[in-house]
A and B are shown apart, each in its own frame.
Chain A
Amino acid sequence: MYLTFDVKMGDFSNAGKVSSEIKGILKQLNINPKDIKRIIVALYEAEVNVVAHSYGGKIECLIDSDRVIANIADTGPGIADIDLAMKEGYSTATEEVREMGFGAGMGLANIKKNSDEMNIESELGKSTNIKLIFYLD
């Protein structure tokens, strides 16, 4: 099953809506709750990142019986130093993002922790693309 959703920049009140829809679909597909939780936590972190840091983007999911592949692509400032961005505690988040309860520099590390494979590509001043693979139990 292939799913695609748009994520708008700065739309803080709706941040999480896409992850919520995907969670509903994974539940309907009877995927085990432990896998759903790690997939959705990773996707929600990624969705918040798109809302908080980009000019808008897209979340695509390909759901198979044995794995879920997610692609989170945005246009935006990109990430200058991916290794630094992956470090826990490093953040470029605005005050507004911090007021939402995020921006502590934990997101990318938590996405990595919850996924089986993670690949980030970013072009400075243009875009960021995160590909995630989750192998299902």
Chain B
Amino acid sequence: MKLSEIVEIVDGTVICGAENLDNEVYLGFSSDLMSDVLTLLADDILLITGLSNNQAIRTAEMSDILQILFVRNKKPNKTMIDLATEHGITLITTPYSMFKTSGLLFSKGLEPVY
């Protein structure tokens, strides 16, 4: 699924990294627990999270995750946006809950990691 389709499905707003919207993403993983994200071996993941802090961006950077979708309109701050931009990570926000976001994307074909 293209990142641009994901944005459309969740009524998302792109915060940074709009140049990557043509990227294909195959897997989704929803978690606020970064320790859990760090155990994933797969690449090309969309990280869906309600955790809006530097560690969400750092965890994505270390795990080679290139896109983060923040639920419930969580707004990343400037430090987070700068960090994401530096590492080519696209940040998106959606007004939907993690449950609804995950359900919508799953039903449209985004695959789960497990």
Binding site for B on A (CB under 8 A): 12-13, 15-16, 19-20, 23, 33, 37, 40-41, 44-45, 48, 99-104, 106-107, 110, 113
Contact = CB atoms under 8 A, between A and B. Distances in A.
Interface string B62-75: 11100000000000
A113 B35 CA distance: 13
B35 A16 contact: no
B35 A101 contact: yes
Contact of A106 (B35, B51, B56, B87): B35
Nearest to A20: B61
A12 B79 CA distance: 13
Contacts, number: 67
Contacts of A15: 54-55, 58
A104 B36 contact: yes
Contacts of B59: 16, 44, 101
A101 B53 contact: yes
Contacts of A110: 35, 38-39
B34 interface: yes
A33 to B, nearest CB: 7
Contacts of A37: 62-64
B22 interface: no
A102 B35 contact: yes
